[in-house]
């Protein structure tokens, strides 16, 4: 059995200083093979705080990446729209010039 992904979820309860880990192993067909839940007592609050801080750091990084992707999309969209508008303006200015030339040549 080949393990495709390992997902690690962390949960922390201040009441009993317990940290829960759930590890899910998934094979190539994306069927769940094993789900293991393990609870351990933590004697040191600092260790638990470190785990919580690292999880928050990961969440903030993901949010930052989403903002970066959105900003890139907006910038590309604006560049395309500006180019389309410039092309459209150029087309109409040429069209007006052709109309004036045709009118002058007709008279």
Smallest CA-to-CA distance from 34 within 6, 60, 54, 67 is with: 6
The reported pTM is 0.30
- Cα(107)–Cα(50) distance, rounded to whole angstroms? 86
**Mean pLDDT of the chain, nearest integer:** 56
Per-residue pLDDT averaged across 17-23, rounded?
42
Question: Confidence band (pLDDT; 50, 70, 90) for 57?
Answer: low
Taking Cα atoms as reference points, which of 46, 39, 43 lies closest to residue 22?
39
In the prediction, which pLDDT does 74 show? Answer: 78
Predicted pLDDT of residue 100? 60
pLDDT confidence of residue 5: 44
Would you call 87 helix, strand, or coil by DSSP? helix
Q: Is the pLDDT of residue 50 over 50?
A: yes
């Amino acid at each position: 059995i080949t393990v495709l992904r390992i997902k690690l979820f962390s949960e922390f309860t201040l009441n009993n200083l317990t940290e829960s880990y759930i590890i899910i192993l998934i094979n190539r067909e994306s069927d769940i093979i094993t789900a293991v839940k393990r609870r351990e007592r933590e004697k040191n609050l600092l260790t638990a705080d470190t785990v919580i801080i690292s999880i928050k750091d990961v969440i903030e990084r993901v949010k930052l990446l989403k903002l970066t992707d959105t900003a890139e999309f907006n910038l590309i969209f604006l560049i395309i729209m500006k180019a389309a508008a410039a092309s459209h303006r150029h087309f109409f200015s040429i069209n007006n010039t052709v109309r004036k030339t045709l009118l002058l040549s007709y008279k």
